[in-house]
Structure 1
Amino acid sequence: MRAFFAKQPQLPPPLLDAPWREINWNDKQSALQHVNDYEPYIEDRQLRILLYGPAGAGKSSFINSVKSVLEGRMSTLALVDNISHDSFTKEYTTYKVKKENPSNFYPFVFNDIMGITQNKGIVVDDVKLALMGRVKDDYVFNPEHKLSEGDQYYNTTVNPNDKVHVLVCVIPADTVSQMREEVTKKTLEIRRAASDLGIPQVAIITKIDKACPEIKKDLKNVYKSVYLKEMMEQLSVNVGIPINCIFPVRNYFEEIDFNDDVDSLTLRALRHIIDFGEDFMNHKMSQSEGSHK
C-alpha cells in the first residue's frame, strides 16, 4: 500500500557554501595601516562620526572597540550598561582616539547620543541639531524637551569641524525583526534629516554572535550565515540603507585579550566609514570653492 506524505518545505541551510562578501581574515594589518595613514585632504579638518540607534544597540561598545583596536589596549571610556533597558548615554560627548602618544589623536572623532526608545529616548530634533553642529559637548539630553537657541549648550557659532560628516545607524542583529514602529519611524526621520544635508549614512549591525549560533561558533561564518544575510536585507528594507553600506561587527564586551577576527570586522567597518566621510568633506569643499568662483 502506497503512503502519501505532504512534502515538507526545505529549510534554508544555516551556512552558505561560500561567503557572499569577501574579507581577508589574514590581512588585518593592511586595514589597520589604512586607518593609521588617514589624513583629511583638507588641512586642519576633523572627521566627525555620529552614532545613533535603539537603546542598548551597542553604540558605546563600538566606540570602545575602535579605541581598543587602535590604541592597543582595552578601552571602557564610553560607558556601557548591561542591565538597564533604557538609554545609558545621557550626555552629548565627543570621543577622541589616541595615536602613538597621549598628545596625538586620530583625525576623526565619535559622538554617542541617547538611544531611540519606544516612548522616551532622544528627541529627533536634537539629533538634527547635532548633525548641523549646533550641540555642544556635555549637553544632557532631555526626552521631554529639545535643545533650543539661547540654551547654554546651543552652539551659535558653527565651524566645519563641529558638523557631522558620517551618520552611523547602530542596530543589534538579535532584535532587527522586532524593531518597534516608533523606533523605525524615528530612525527614518533622522535619516531624512541627514539626507537633506547630504551626509553619508551607513549601518553597523552588532551582537551578531547572539543572533546566529554559527557565528558564535566561528566569527569567520559572518558572511556565510543565511540568517544574518536575511537580517541585513530586512534592515535595508526597513530603514532604506543599501546592503553595501551595512557592516556587521562583534564588539568587545567580555574579553580582556584581543581577537584578530573581531578586529578585522571592526577595522573593515571603520575604513568604509572614514572613506565615506572623507568623500563628503571633499565634496562640500568643492561645492564651496565652486560657489566663490
Structure 2
Amino acid sequence: MGKKLSKEEQEQKEVNELRTKVIKLFHGQQILFVGTPGSGKSSFVNTVNHALNLVDPEVPYQEFARIGGTGADHGTMTYRTYTMKRGLFQSLKSQVPNPSNAPKFFDIAGVSETLLQRDHFDFKQLLIYLVQGKVKEFTQMIEVYNNKQQLKEIEKQEAIKSNKVWIMVCVVSLYDPFPQLFLEQVASAARELESQDGGASVFVVLTKGDRLDRVDRSTRVKDFRKRCQTVVNIMERRIFEVNNYLPSELKIDATMTKNIEKEKSVVAALNLMLQPANNPVVNEES
C-alpha cells in the first residue's frame, strides 16, 4: 500500500494530472486574447504559460508577453504571436503526438471604451480579420486603432492559414467597470463570423478579483457573469474566474514551488475551454 498523500500533495497530484490532460487538448490550438487596457490580458498569457510549463529543473522560466499599462509604454504595442514550445512539449514527447505542433497565442494591444466610441475605429471588423488570419505578426496595433486606412490595408491581405484563430478569449477585469461596449463588439463580430465560416469559440476570463475584498468580489463575480452571458450570448460554463500570477511571481527559477490555487484556476479553465463540447471549432489537422 502506497504512502498516504498530504492534502497539499494530493492537490498537486490532481493539478499535475489535469495539466497533462490540458497539454494534450492544447495540441495545435490557436488562441486570440482580447481585452481593454490593463484587464490582465498579457498577464493571463503568462499565467497560462507558467501554469503549464513543465520544464527541466535547470531551465529558468521566462515570461512570454510583455506586461504594461496604457499610453506610450503600453505592454503590447504590436500583434504578437507566442508559440508555447519551451519545456512544455519537450518534456512530454512520449505523450504528445507531435511536439512541434505547439499551441499559439495571439495577443493585441488593449482596446479602451473611449477608443471604441470613435467613428474612425471599427473594432468588430478588426476582430473578424484577426480570427480569419489576415493580420500579420508585428502589425502596429496602435496605428490600426487610430488610422482607418490601416484597417483597409489589412482587408486587402490574404488570410494567413497559420494565423487562423480557433478560440477567442475575452479577458475582463473584475476590478474595473464592466466593459459593455467592448463585449458588444466581440459579440457582434462572433455572430458575423459564425454566419461566414463557423468563426471561433468565444470564452470570457474574469481577472483581478484578488484586488477586491471577499464580499465585493463575490458580488462582482455574480454580476459580471450574468452580464457577460447576456451581452456576449454565451453559456455560463464559458466564463471563468482566474487569478493571474504577478510579474514578481513569474520571475522565478523553475525549481521553486508554484501557487497551487492559481494553477488550479487556470488549468481548470483551460480544460473546459478545450473540451470538444465547448470548443467545436478546432484545427482538423491537429
Q: Do the structures match in fold with TM over 0.5?
A: yes
- Residue aligning to 1:34: 21
> CA-to-partner distance for each residue in 1:6-58, whole Å, 9 max, x for gaps?
xxxxxxxxxxxxxxxxxx95521121110233375xxxxx3210111211111
Q: Identity percentage over the alignment?
A: 22
State the distance in 1 between where 2:202 and 2:20 align: 24
CA-to-partner distance for each residue in 1:125-182, whole Å, 9 max, x for gaps? 222111111111111112123545666x9642532x321111111101122xx23554
Which residue matches 2:146? 144
Letter of the 1:248 counterpart: E
Alignment of 1:62 with 2:62, yes or no, is: no
Superposed CA offset, 1:194-226 (max 9, x none): 43342211111111212343699xxxxxxxx45
Give how far 1:77 is off.
2.2
- Could you say which structure has the higher helix fraction? 2
Matched-pair contact (CA < 8 Å) for 2:174–2:220: no
Aligned length: 244
CA RMSD of aligned residues (A): 3.3
How far, CA to CA, are the matches of 2:42 and 2:159 in structure 1? 28
TM-score computed with the length of structure 1 as normaliser? 0.70
Structure 1 residues 260 and 105: alpha-carbon distance in aligned structure 2, compared to 1, 3 A threshold: farther
Q: Is the 8 A contact 1:211 1:228 kept in 2?
A: no
Q: How does 1:119-268 map to 2 (within 5 A)?
A: 119-120=114-115, 123-124=122-123, 125-141=125-141, 142-146=144-148, 147-148=150-151, 155-156=157-158, 158-159=160-161, 161-175=162-176, 178-179=177-178, 181-196=180-195, 197-198=197-198, 199-213=200-214, 225=218, 227-253=220-246, 254-255=248-249, 256=252, 258-268=258-268
- In 2, the alpha carbon distance for the partners of 1:47 and 1:107 equals 8
For 1:106 and 1:60, how far apart are their aligned partners in 2? 22
Residues 18 and 271 of structure 2 are in contact (CA less than 8 Å); yes or no, is this contact kept in structure 1?
A: yes
Q: 1:96 aligned to 60, 68, 83, which one?
A: 83
Q: Which runs of 5+ in 1 are unaligned?
A: 1-23, 41-45, 217-224, 286-293
- The structure-2 alpha-carbon separation of the partners of 1:150 and 1:235, relative to structure 1 and needing over 3 Å to count, comes to closer
Compute the TM-score of the two structures, normalised by the length of structure 2: 0.72
Which region of structure 1 is more displaced relative to structure 2, 227-236 or 99-108? 99-108
Check 1:181–1:28 CA distance in 2 against 1; reply closer, same or farther (3 A cut). closer
Q: Structure 2: which 5+ residue stretches go unaligned?
A: 1-9, 55-59, 94-98
1:47 to 29, 35, 39: 29
In the TM superposition, residue 235 of structure 1 has moved relative to its aligned partner by: 2.4
